[in-house]
Structure 1
Amino acid sequence: MKTTYNKVMVVDDNKLDIYFTTKLILKNSLAENVLEFTSAEGAYDYLRDNQTEKSELPGIIFIDIYMPNLDGFEFIDKIRELGENITENCRLCIVSSTVSDYDIHKAKIEKGIPLFSSKPITSEFIERLANLQ
């Protein structure tokens, strides 16, 4: 089965969540390659270092909201500062175990991120992402 994206990125401080998300992405052919990061800082460094290489950029970035040091919302603000090559080529998808109306509002309205999923991510959600392409 043909994949939707060459690369996607999963950023989560919980290794188990990364593992399951990666398995779903690969099983549902959303991407050929999954870039896994346990810190937003590491993911940011990767994007900063590869921002001019479109083939190295992930088509979707799954970002957890609650992480130490640099949380998901701060990460979004920082990568947007990198410029349009990132913002035009990398869709953002917030994932969180929260069901807080405030966080959902902040993600969708304040940050302009229409893609939001509660953890754990499901195969149905991955399929919907594939159909958005």
Structure 2
Amino acid sequence: MYSFRRVVLIDDDSVNNFVCESMIKSENFAAEVVSFEWAEDALNYLKTSATLPDQFPDLIFLDINMPSMDGWRFIEEFSAMPEKITKDCNLFMLSSAVDRRDVIMAKGHHKVKDFFSKPLSTEILNIIKEEYAF
């Protein structure tokens, strides 16, 4: 039994995406994992998914430092999407950022459920399952 239907990973590091995807699958955390190296591509996917609510992800893992569009800009765009679509999607920052201001900003943002430091671990997945799984 999976804890979530669909998880989206957004990180410009393809190796990190592969490792996260493998862990999520091996832990039966989600039935489907979709990875993006570009935040813009993830937004396009989400906008398309918004027309089919059962296709919208239950959870997003988002990196902060990415080229072109960083995690903060992604959150601005995500926040502009209709609340009825995004309200059941849990957004988590998963980053190697060590700037304390980023952690404080992430934890204080109303769309961000929590901030976790890379790498993704079984412990992080268990914390999320206990708090947010349906």
Please tell me whether residue 41 in structure 1 is matched to residue 17 in structure 2. Answer: no
State the shift of 1:110 in Å: 3.9
Match of 2:87 in 1: 88
**Cα-Cα RMSD:** 1.2
Would the alpha carbon gap of residues 103 and 111 (structure 1) be closer, same or farther in structure 2, given more than 3 Å must change? farther
Please report the TM-score for the alignment, with normalisation by the length of structure 2: 0.93
Contact 1:51 1:85 in 2 (8 A): no
**Distance (whole Å) between structure 2 residues aligned to residue 112 and residue 9 of structure 1:** 15
**Distance (whole Å) between structure 1 residues aligned to residue 11 and residue 28 of structure 2:** 21
**Distance (whole Å) between structure 2 residues aligned to residue 67 and residue 60 of structure 1:** 19
**Distance (whole Å) between structure 2 residues aligned to residue 59 and residue 40 of structure 1:** 17
**Distance (whole Å) between structure 2 residues aligned to residue 111 and residue 97 of structure 1:** 21
Give the gaps of 5 or more residues in structure 2. Answer: none
**Distance (whole Å) between structure 2 residues aligned to residue 131 and residue 89 of structure 1:** 16
Give the gaps of 5 or more residues in structure 1. Answer: none
Match of 2:67 in 1: 68
State the shift of 1:95 in Å: 0.8
Q: Deviations over 1:6-49 (max 9, x none)?
A: 10000000001101111111111110100111100000000111
Match of 1:128 in 2: 127
Q: Residue 99 of structure 1 aligns to which amino acid in structure 2? A: V
- Moved segments of 4+, more than 4 Å: none
Q: Residue 105 of structure 1 aligns to which amino acid in structure 2? A: I
